Amino acid sequence: MSQDPSCIFCKIVEGKIPSKKVYEDDEVLAFHDIHPWAPVHFLLIPKQHIVSMAHVDASHAPLLGKLMSLVPQLAQQEGCRPYPEGGFRLVTNTGADGGQEVPHLHFHVIGGPRPWLKG
């Protein structure tokens, strides 16, 4: 599994930087955002260093499928109300114009009672 020693998320994966974990297995890590926008706000990342969605190819399809299938389960586990009355927002920023701040593929899962700080 590739890692970037200068990447903050790779350091979190390696345990060099602490995080409040939501979920972890051999391929995936989910942890609470340090600056939450809503009552529920966590990040879901592959442990493998993939820079952004612009760097995803067909070989990543099983990993992305796994990530996406975890979202509803983890969102509800962390406090999002069930669909359709509840729900959540799933956001991934890609590149400078997309607002990506950390060059490691990550998905923001955001939800909970409104109003939220942002969005």
Instruction: Answer yes or no: is 50 within a domain.
Output: yes
Helix, coil or strand: residue 1: coil
Q: Please state, in angstroms and as integers, the Cα–Cα distance from residue 48 to each residue in 4, 12, 14, 88, 89, following that order.
A: 9, 12, 11, 25, 24
**pLDDT band at 16; cut points 50, 70, 90:** very high
Q: In this structure, is residue 59 part of a structural domain?
A: yes
Structural domain harbouring 61 = 8-111
Per-residue tokens: 51? 């820079």
One-letter identity of residue 68: M
**The CATH number of the domain where 52 resides is what?**
3.30.428.10
Q: Which of 41, 49, 106, 108 is the catalytic position?
A: 106
With bands split at pLDDT 50, 70 and 90, how would you rate the model's confidence at 45? very high
> pLDDT tens digits for 68-117?
999 999 999 999 999 999 999 999 999 999 999 999 999 999 999 888 87
- pLDDT score at 1: 67
- Confidence at residue 93, expressed as pLDDT on a 0 to 100 scale: 98
What global pTM score does this model have? 0.94
106 counts as catalytic: yes
Q: How many structural domains are present in the chain?
A: 1
pLDDT number for residue 55: 98
- pLDDT score recorded for residue 27: 98
Angstrom distance (rounded) from CA 86 to CA 98: 27
Answer whether residue 67 is part of any domain: yes
Percentage of residues of the chain with pLDDT beyond 70: 98
pLDDT at 119: 64
